[in-house]
Structure 1
Amino acid sequence: MENDPEARSIVETVILLGHKLNMDIVAEGVEAASCQQILHGLACNIAQGYLFARPMPGEELFAWFSQYRSSLGTKFFITQRLVL
């Protein structure tokens, strides 16, 4: 998407469609901060992928989430809703 205008156009269209339908849009497979910035600019504010964490056992999730949230400070906002 970063270097492919056609892919970026498709992503933008899907995000716009989701917003028109009052849906939460989740970008999956986000691996680079530059991709996260593009998605944020396209009004996609929920993302998951290796940029944030590798797959982990469920019992490790809450400890990781607490540590990750603390590391962000006031730089980013994370919702209280956790989807498993």
Structure 2
Amino acid sequence: MTSEEFAWGYAIRREWPDGAHDLFGFTSNESEAERQLARDESYWSSGPVRPAAVYVVPANAADVNRHPVDGCRSASCPNSPERGQQR
């Protein structure tokens, strides 16, 4: 096990209409995760292609760093919103 295995914090989960998702932006700071979420939402808000949902999830650094870059469909990825509601 590496020290990464023990690092818990927050990540951004972006859900796509086709059922795939992205998991990125690990940080141990909740405020930083909220800022990343706001930036991501701002980026996608004006485009023709938009995620179905974007939210903060509690995550392990190792899980985020090993996560596939292009549209994952694994049910074992962190998916429980830290926020009260999805945006």
* TM-score of the aligned structures, taking structure 2 as reference length: 0.33
* TM-score of the aligned structures, taking structure 1 as reference length: 0.34
Greater share of residues in strand: 2
Greater share of residues in helix: 1
Higher RCO (Cα < 8 Å, 6 or more apart): 2
